[in-house]
Amino acid sequence: MQLKRLAMNVAAATAALATGNAMAAGFALQNQNGAGTGYAYAGSAAVAEDASTIYFNPAGMLYLSEGHHVSGALTVLHRSLEFSDKGTNALRVAAPPVPAYPLGTDGGDAGGNSLVPAAYWAMSVNKDLRLGLGISPTFGNATEWDDTFIGRYQGNYSEIKAININPSIAFRVNDMVSLGFGVNYVKFEADLRGMQPVTALLPRTVDVESKLSGDDSGWGWNAGAMFQLTPATRVGLTYRSTIDLDVNGKVEAGPGSTPAKVSIELPDTASLAISHQATDKLQILADYTWTGWSSIPRLKVQHGTAGVTLTDEYLGFKDSYRVGLGMQYQYTDALRLRAGVAYDQSPVRNAADRTVRLPDSDRTWLAVGFNYKLSKQTSVDAGYAHLFFDKEKIDRRTVLGTNQTAQFVRGSFDTSVNIFSVQLNHAF
């Protein structure tokens, strides 16, 4: 009971901080620790240097020394997100002489700063059996355009948070093979807003804010394996399951409120990673990670009791992949230097599917960082990464409720991200 209470208290504090802009493809959060930022999370399922291996590959707990290991991380994300109009047409809800609604502005910078915390604890039962607990936000997105944004009828504010509590176990099969398993409890919250034209006040052109909010919790599982092929080469294989959610909430527009629900299946992931000690000082890391984003083809919002469709927002997500290559160099006994590069494919493939809520595109990571030993028991990690996003277009029809309009939001997004991470590790 004390362990459960501690986990829930930490999760509550994590939820209060975790308003992250999604830094992996879609709205996934790659930043599950601070150390991985320094090598662009390349080969994370095979690294196993601290307690955060609980998330990336629970079998890695067998590579930690006996006793207790705790790691706490904080990542600061700064995202710049700007829109350039390329021919958006004004919204009309009736034929002339009723005027069209004002076209609007480019919406300002919809990015901003976000904090992503994470905490992990691992302990040894004996030399061949380990237990662990991880708490971190696994999905998140925060996008806020000005109320006068040209795409406001498709959305001007979006916030998604998913906090994951991940108790885990790992055991050693033999000197070459270790296995790990985990259970995932996810608390999910969403707040999606947009502007709606008030047709009852025609011929005046008036907007009111519409807000869809809701929450749910769900369960999933993860498993991992470590294969020590040679003294210098280790391979990690890991899988995280889908998580089914039935999000219940309400739609608010002006003084009115309607009960609403939407079913979401958070995607599964699989990763193959390698760690190779090329020399006494140089370690090479690499990985290939797949994410099943096709589990979320659309957001279909239904009336909470009547079951009729209120909105149906097509996303068109496709499965995506990520590849990373990194290195660690033991410069001195106390200082380990890091660098990495990664390519992360977006689940959004074309301009008609791209949304103003999630203007996603392919991105490339460039990262540097270090680990410094403060003592035999304590070390600190720091990392910096810059993400270069492809400049992609949007050509999406505006839908009000379930009714298609003649308006198309047309333009391009210019996105860049800076990531700063720190992590403290202690063993006892």
Strand partners, 237: 225, 272
Q: What is the DSSP letter of 55?
A: H
Provide the pLDDT confidence category of residue 99 given band limits of 50, 70 and 90.
confident
CA distance 224 to 53: 10
Strand partners, 244: 265
CA 160 to chain centre: 9
Would you state the pLDDT for residue 203? 58
Query: Which domain, by its residues, includes 165?
Result: 2-427
Among 221, 395, 386, 238, which Cα is nearest to 316's?
Answer: 395
Phi, then psi, of 2 in degrees rounded to 5: -65, -40
CB 274 within 8 A of CB 286: yes
Residue with tokens 């370690």: 283
How much is the average pLDDT of 311-321? Answer: 92
Dmax (CA) for the chain in angstroms is 80
Q: Exposed/middle/buried for 369, CB within 10 Å: 0-12, 13-18, 19+? A: buried
CA distance 79 to 396: 23
Instruction: Collect all residues with Cβ–Cβ distance below 8 Å to 244 and sequence separation of at least 6.
Output: 218, 263, 264, 265, 266
Q: What is the DSSP letter of 87?
A: S
Residue 2 pLDDT more than 70?
A: no
Q: What is the DSSP letter of 37?
A: G
Would you state the pLDDT for residue 205? 66
| E strand intervals along 145-200 | 157-172, 177-197
Establish how many alpha carbons lie within 13 A of residue 351's alpha carbon, considering only the half-sphere containing its beta carbon: 12
Would you state the pLDDT for residue 16? 42
CB contact burial 232-256 (16+ within 10 A = b; e otherwise): eebbbbbbbbbbebebebebbbeee
What is the C-alpha end-to-end distance of the chain, expressed in Å?
A: 23
Would you state the pLDDT for residue 8? 42
CB 389 within 8 A of CB 361: yes
Would you state the pLDDT for residue 172? 98
Q: What is the tens place of the pLDDT at every residue in 182-203?
A: 999 999 999 999 998 886 566 5
Q: Which amino acid is at 420?
A: F
Instruction: Collect all residues with Cβ–Cβ distance below 8 Å to 162 and sequence separation of at least 6.
Output: 137, 138, 139, 140, 186, 187, 188, 189, 266
Provide the pLDDT confidence category of residue 213 given band limits of 50, 70 and 90.
very high
Residue 4 pLDDT more than 60?
A: no
CA distance 269 to 293: 9
* CATH at residue 292: 2.40.160.60
- Mean pLDDT in the chain? 91
Provide the pLDDT confidence category of residue 418 given band limits of 50, 70 and 90.
very high
Residue 412 pLDDT more than 50?
A: yes
CA distance 380 to 120: 14
Strand partners, 396: 409
CA distance 138 to 188: 10
Q: What is the tens place of the pLDDT at every residue in 8-59?
A: 444 444 444 444 555 677 889 999 999 999 999 999 999 999 999 999 999 9
| E strand intervals along 173-278 | 177-197, 207-230, 233-240, 243-253, 256-266, 269-277
Residue 146 pLDDT more than 90?
A: yes
Residue 381 pLDDT more than 60?
A: yes
pTM: 0.90
CA 69 to chain centre: 25
CB 198 within 8 A of CB 210: no
Q: Provide the number of structural domains found in the chain.
A: 1
Q: What is the tens place of the pLDDT at every residue in 356-374?
A: 998 999 999 999 999 999 9
Phi, then psi, of 294 in degrees rounded to 5: -65, -5
Establish how many alpha carbons lie within 13 A of residue 386's alpha carbon, considering only the half-sphere containing its beta carbon: 2
DSSP string covering 6-33: HHHHHHHHHHHHB-PPP-SSTTB---SS
Strand partners, 169: 131, 181
Would you state the pLDDT for residue 14? 40
